[in-house]
Amino acid sequence: MRLRALATLGTLLLLSALAWAQSKSTKEAPEVLAPPPVSLTALVSQVRERFPQVEGEVVEVQGKTVTLGVGRPQGVRAGLTFAVYRQGREIRHPRTGELLGRIEEALGRATVTQVQDRLSVATFEGSDVRPADRVRTGADKVRLTLLTFKGGVKDNLLEAVSHELYDGLTATGRFDISLGDQISVWLAQQGITPDAFLRGERVSEAAAQFRAESILAVLFKTVERKPFMEVRLFSPPRPEPAITTAFFVPPSIKPKTPGQFSASEQARVTPERRPRSLLARLLGGDLEAGAYSSGESAIPLKEVARFGFPVVAFDMGVPKDGIPRLLISDGDTVYLYRVVNRELVAEWTYRGYRVGRVFGVYLVDLDGDGVPEIVVNRYDAKLGINAVILGVQNGAPKILVQDIHSFLVALDETG
């Protein structure tokens, strides 16, 4: 396998937070349709309660309307979707006779429309459902997209709120969270404002295009000179939000203080600026000698993006189109961006490779066509090291080679 070198860029400053679509601040608080949480912990609990793990039975069938033997005490709510299946014959161990399980036949899905204490009514999509068939919600983690819109709040406060919300949802163990940066870019391209999106405009289309099972949208505003949050939880195909709430950012959340490379600003002594020779300026650019140790304010760094997750692996390259690419991963999902005018433009996101955790990513041109392929290295405690090679087809990632039980490293032709 021949690996061809790609030109690399200089170091990119990666900070933890989110860079999202912009919206204008408002002076009046919108109508709150749900009790506002007193903290982000309460909001996390509300979101968690919307995705209960429930199993039950079909007790009555009337056309496409089915009655289920589960209700409010089990956490059932209107809009909750069940998988409907039929249990078949038992499978037993041939020597011990131990019951290993049952054959299951998938029949369709049922979406709840009415809920009572001991039963619920749902609309069935599928065929041949009968009483005594079984229903259940997904036992796997719910794929939740966190989409934030900035408007009138400081970046470091947005960073702090986003981190706490992300960490709180992750700590429940119920969600597989991805960030909605691609949706933000798409909304801006379509001319859809954050307020319009929170009203439900184009939500189903965005969810279908970016394969978002559920979207938690948060719009930050300034109301009465205080940071304010509007929150909607969308679970397509239902157009109306499952959660609609708004509240002031809890005062317990403090903006993050920018760190320093070395000594603090107060203690830093500004060195005497001396004229530099033409050769020194040509070779060294704008960076003064010794500036790195004297503090970040003297270093010509440009903030390009902020991410609301730790970046565990990244690579950069310049393919034949001359547009730099940034490849990053948070350990679960792989993101590819174009670097255009010192800004990141989302190109695609890949999260279909679910074995282990990502610890290394590379941009490599394997076939010499000038379009880089993507190498992803992962590690699983049981399966060990496992790698996959991704290509791009019609602007979306596709697997070229999978289940490579080796650690792949990108090298140029000279090693």
Question: What pLDDT, on the 0 to 100 scale, is given for residue 27?
Answer: 37
Q: What is the pLDDT of residues 79-104, one digit of tens each?
A: 788 889 998 888 888 888 888 888 88
Residues 6+ apart with CB under 8 A from 250: 38, 39, 40
Predicted confidence (pLDDT) at residue 128 exceeds the cutoff of 70: yes
The whole-number average pLDDT for the span 129-134 is: 93
Residues 6+ apart with CB under 8 A from 333: 178, 349, 350, 351
Task: Return the CATH class of domain 55-136.
Answer: mainly beta
For the ranges 21-35, 324-338, 398-412, which has the lowest average pLDDT? 21-35
Which one of 116-120, 211-215, 354-358 scores highest in mean pLDDT?
116-120
Residue-range domain boundaries for the chain = 1-11+309-415, 40-49+141-248, 55-136
> Could you tell me what percent of the chain has a pLDDT over 70?
77
How far apart are the C-alpha atoms of 413 and 415, rounded to whole Å? 6
Residue 269 vs residue 8, higher pLDDT: 269
> What pLDDT band is residue 339 in, cutting at 50, 70 and 90?
confident
Q: What is the pLDDT of residues 197-247, one digit of tens each?
A: 999 999 989 888 888 889 999 999 988 889 999 999 998 777 789 899 999
Predicted confidence (pLDDT) at residue 164 exceeds the cutoff of 70: yes
Question: What pLDDT, on the 0 to 100 scale, is given for residue 120?
Answer: 95
Predicted confidence (pLDDT) at residue 54 exceeds the cutoff of 60: yes
Residue with tokens 């990666």: 14
> What pLDDT band is residue 53 in, cutting at 50, 70 and 90?
confident
Question: What pLDDT, on the 0 to 100 scale, is given for residue 132?
Answer: 92
For the ranges 197-206, 218-227, 308-317, 339-348, which has the lowest average pLDDT? 339-348
Residue 21 vs residue 61, higher pLDDT: 61
Q: Is 325 left (phi over 0), alpha (psi -120 to 50) or beta?
A: beta
The whole-number average pLDDT for the span 150-172 is: 85
The pLDDT mean for the chain works out to 78
Peptide bond into 73 cis (omega under 30): no
Reported pTM: 0.52
Fold of the CATH domain 1-11+309-415 = Methylamine Dehydrogenase; Chain H (2.130.10)
CA 395, 344, 336, 257 dihedral sign is negative
Question: What pLDDT, on the 0 to 100 scale, is given for residue 22?
Answer: 37
Pairing label, strands 99-115, 214-223:
unpaired
Domains 1-11+309-415 and 40-49+141-248 agree in fold:
no
Helix (H) / strand (E) element for 388: namely strand 384-393
Residue 44 vs residue 383, higher pLDDT: 44
Predicted confidence (pLDDT) at residue 28 exceeds the cutoff of 50: no
Predicted confidence (pLDDT) at residue 303 exceeds the cutoff of 50: yes
Residue 112 vs residue 15, higher pLDDT: 112
What homologous superfamily is domain 40-49+141-248 in, according to CATH? ABC-type transport auxiliary lipoprotein component (3.40.50.10610)
For the ranges 11-20, 55-64, 359-368, which has the lowest average pLDDT? 11-20
Question: What pLDDT, on the 0 to 100 scale, is given for residue 71?
Answer: 92
The whole-number average pLDDT for the span 377-406 is: 85
Question: What pLDDT, on the 0 to 100 scale, is given for residue 292?
Answer: 47
